[in-house]
Amino acid sequence: MTSIMKRISAALAAVLLVLVIFCSSVFIAVHGHHHCTDEDCAVCMELEQCRDSLNTLGASLPAIVFAAAVMVLFVILAAAAVKCLNGSTLISLKVELLD
């Protein structure tokens, strides 16, 4: 898989995650004080599913933030290592070696 496809899929997953959080929050805010009709109320079932999804995502959010921080640190360290390994040489400095 190319790096462009990986970036697109990661961005899509992030957008979907934010969309689920936003839509669940909006649904709870709009339908939080509805008048329940009976025991098998469809709105109550949806509210419960939205609360469950927010609780699940809320519990995993610290792990996601930690993983993202570790990945950013790894990228920074890898870039620094590549820069150190590609140090200047006599040829890259264009030094003439005369006898």
pLDDT per position as a tens digit, 53-99:
888 877 777 777 788 888 889 888 888 887 777 667 777 777 777 76
**85: in domain:** no
Q: How confident is the model at residue 1 (pLDDT cuts 50, 70, 90)?
A: low
Q: How far, in Å, CA of 70 to CA of 92, rounded? A: 34
Q: How confident is the model at residue 19 (pLDDT cuts 50, 70, 90)?
A: confident
**50: in domain:** yes
What dihedral angle (degrees, nearest 10) is formed by the CA atoms of 62, 67, 69, 71? Answer: -170
**73: in domain:** no
Q: Answer yes or no: pTM beyond 0.85.
A: no
How many domains are there within the chain? 1
**21: in domain:** yes
Q: How confident is the model at residue 26 (pLDDT cuts 50, 70, 90)?
A: confident
**89: in domain:** no
**71: in domain:** no
**91: in domain:** no
**Residue numbers of the domain that contains 36:** 3-62
**13: in domain:** yes
Q: Are 57 and 17 in contact (CB under 8 A)?
A: yes
